[in-house]
Amino acid sequence: MAKKNTVPTNKKHDDLAYNKETGTGELMTTDQGLKINDDNNSLKAGERGATLLEDFILREKITHFDHERIPERIVHARGSGAHGVFQVYESMAKYTKAGFLQDPSVQTPVFVRFSTVAGFRGSTDLARDVRGFSVKFYTEEGNYDLVGNNMPVFFIQDAIKFPDLIHAVKPEPHNEIPQAASAHDTFWDFISLTPESMHMIMWAMSDRAIPRSLRMMEGFGIHTFRFINAQGKSCFVKFHWKPLLGMHAVAWDEAQKISGKNSDFHRQDLWEAIESGAFPEWEFGVQIVPEEDEHKYPFDLLDPTKLIPEELVPVMRIGKMTLNRNPDNFFAETEQVAFHPGHLVPGIDFTNDPLLQGRLFSYTDTQLSRLGSPNFHEIPINRSVNPVHNNQRDGHMRQQINVGKSSYHPNSTGDGFPKQATIAEGGFSTYEERVDARKIRARSKSFMDFFGQATLFFNSQSEPEQNHIVDALRFELGKVQTPAIRERMVGLLTQVDHTLALKVAEGLGIPVPKPQEPLNHSYGADANPADYQNIPQKQSIDKSPALSMANTPKDSIKTRQIAILVADGVDAASLKAMKAALTTAGAQCKLIAPHGGFIKDNKGADNPVDMSFLTAASVIFDAVYVPAGEKGLMGNADAIHFINESYRHCKAIATDETGLLDETYVGAKFKKGGGAAAGIITGKNKSKEFIQAIAQHRFWEREKNDKVPA
């Protein structure tokens, strides 16, 4: 009698089937099979206390996450870097004893890496995404890393949720689609069930997520840190980077086209600016909060989903960073640089922000996986300028050659060296914060306002910026295939702004649900949900002008890229005069023509062409100029499209004559009595007006009325 086959027939020929795990209908466990009661909160010393090293669930989860990719970074894989210097304006000894913030005559070397978060190394620079903004200071007291983003808040409040967030936003695992994009079901499913993310969603759907240039975006430390002075007095501090070129963005339609024309747009822009001597500059700013004011505000300073409005605590600009040298080798420097928020110097310390606390474990672990050795600090780009002396030994790729036989402390065989440094000798001393609390997996109720600052951000935007947020949400949620996810998201938007929710729902073709208490999964399985519901807080201000990019400085055209459309017969005097005026003002001009090589002006001189219409595109320029003598361009479909597209993307356009303009959408509108449009300069000798228009960056008001077929 044949032995009965106990293997299910649908698995009989598939040995791997025994390892399939769907998670359907099962309880969550650790990798050791231990059932997990709370997957949303790390173990802390009290609700607002430090995260504890004994949290084996957090460490297992993040350790596995850190080792999911080899050797590319799991997040922030797509990056660009540059060397530079930082110089403080005046001593900050009143607030901190950090050495690099004391002497205005000292330049501290830095290396900065900018990045996108979600995409792989080969993804486009122009994805809608958060941008990493990380700075390594090579100080005389050791390396200090300020590891931040171009947005001052984050999606989640506790580091234990970071693997979930990234798993949700990464390409969906069954088909590895989409690349470098959040417009898909798993991301918005997670967000729709995580209302603490709503403030960050407003930022991510705003123009901040598609910057014109890495040189034209802010940077933030995100978390609240501590400054500690020589007397041991502590204050809370938030870190800012303010670009001296102002903050500017591209249009979403433009971002998509740039991705097709030049996916290295930001990387090339940064490289070429530095090579040309147009060194990018940021001022370093701090918001200082005295310890006694910790609980003064309608939000918790330890909550990474909240910011301190600049109208409540002004940003004090204390120094300037200048990037003045490109890397010699991308891999050796930009790819191998290793940042860590735990790389501190005396005078700067942590707070109990639960997202920051988890990062302190995660960053070392991920460098071990990515760079393959505990000796990643010996890679040249990561080396401290302060000599390293300790008892760490050996390991993969060890480069330092230690002599002598002492590799332990205390010792007498090496005369006690290396010895501990006293505080007076510059030894690091952790701030002595009193801790008296129960070990607990929970969040403070002071973290539970999920919508107050999301509303503040939306209300602070200009009308065009608000329209862009609406369009972004329509685009993103329009890509979502599951109706219930779209409906949940619109429901959350009603908690932010009802008009916003109405406009998004209209674009999706779904009704707006009645406002209701959102689901909140930030509690353990046995916790009482009533203890963790949203607790709306009235913000101290209704609007914060500092949150709007429309209020960025608009007084310069330095490094702006200007396309000059030319053909044989162009007026030499007109071309020369405008090019000289733009160059003097700091802009960079490129001659775009129907063909490469040279074009002859009306004086018979040859003018070198920078790009033909085949290789150029309006989306990679900030403004367009058509000199006199435009006859050779009239009827040229590429030139007409160039101008139409520039108009659609709200850029400044100048022309000495109107023949070519008359053939475009803009000219047709004028002929129909449409009147002059914002940012359109016509007539000779109008360089001053054109320069002023370029400085405004964009004329977003054109978007509302003009749907240009380009």
Helix axes 463-478, 498-508, angle to 10 degrees: 40
Which tokens sit at 596?
Answer: 């490469």
Catalytic residue among 40, 76, 223, 326: 76
C-alpha to C-alpha distance for 379 and 397, rounded to whole angstroms: 10
Consecutive H or E run containing 104: none
C-alpha to C-alpha distance for 143 and 137, rounded to whole angstroms: 6
Beta pairing class for 623-626 and 561-565: parallel
Consecutive H or E run containing 651: none
Q: Is 76 a catalytic residue?
A: yes
C-alpha to C-alpha distance for 33 and 186, rounded to whole angstroms: 25
Nearest to 518 by CA among 152, 63, 187, 195: 195
- Match 């390594």 to its residue by tokens: 136
- Other C-beta atoms closer than 10 Å to the C-beta of 306 total 26
Residue 701 three-state SS = helix
Which tokens sit at 461?
Answer: 């935007």
Catalytic residue among 40, 149, 607, 644: 149
Q: Which residue(s) pair with 598 in the sheet?
A: 608
C-alpha to C-alpha distance for 42 and 355, rounded to whole angstroms: 9
CB 301 within 8 A of CB 224: yes
User: Could you tell me where the DSSP H helices lie in 406-542?
Assistant: 452-460, 463-478, 483-496, 498-508
Say which amino acid occupies 57: I
CB 609 within 8 A of CB 592: yes
Which tokens sit at 249?
Answer: 């963005």
CB 589 within 8 A of CB 564: yes
b/e 195-220 (16+ beta carbons within 10 angstroms → b): bbbbbbbbbbbbbbbbbbbbbbbbbb
CB 316 within 8 A of CB 283: no
Consecutive H or E run containing 222: none
Residue 640 three-state SS = helix
- Other C-beta atoms closer than 10 Å to the C-beta of 72 total 14
C-alpha to C-alpha distance for 157 and 159, rounded to whole angstroms: 7
Q: Is 149 a catalytic residue?
A: yes
Say which amino acid occupies 492: L
Q: How far is CA 520 from CA 37, 190, 205, 368, 523, in A?
A: 16, 11, 22, 35, 8
Which regions of 54-101 does DSSP assign to beta strands (E)? Answer: 79-88
Q: How is residue 19 annotated by DSSP?
A: G
Q: Which residue(s) pair with 349 in the sheet?
A: 226
CB 315 within 8 A of CB 285: yes
Helix axes 252-261, 265-275, angle to 10 degrees: 80
CB 184 within 8 A of CB 172: yes
Residues with catalytic function: 76, 149
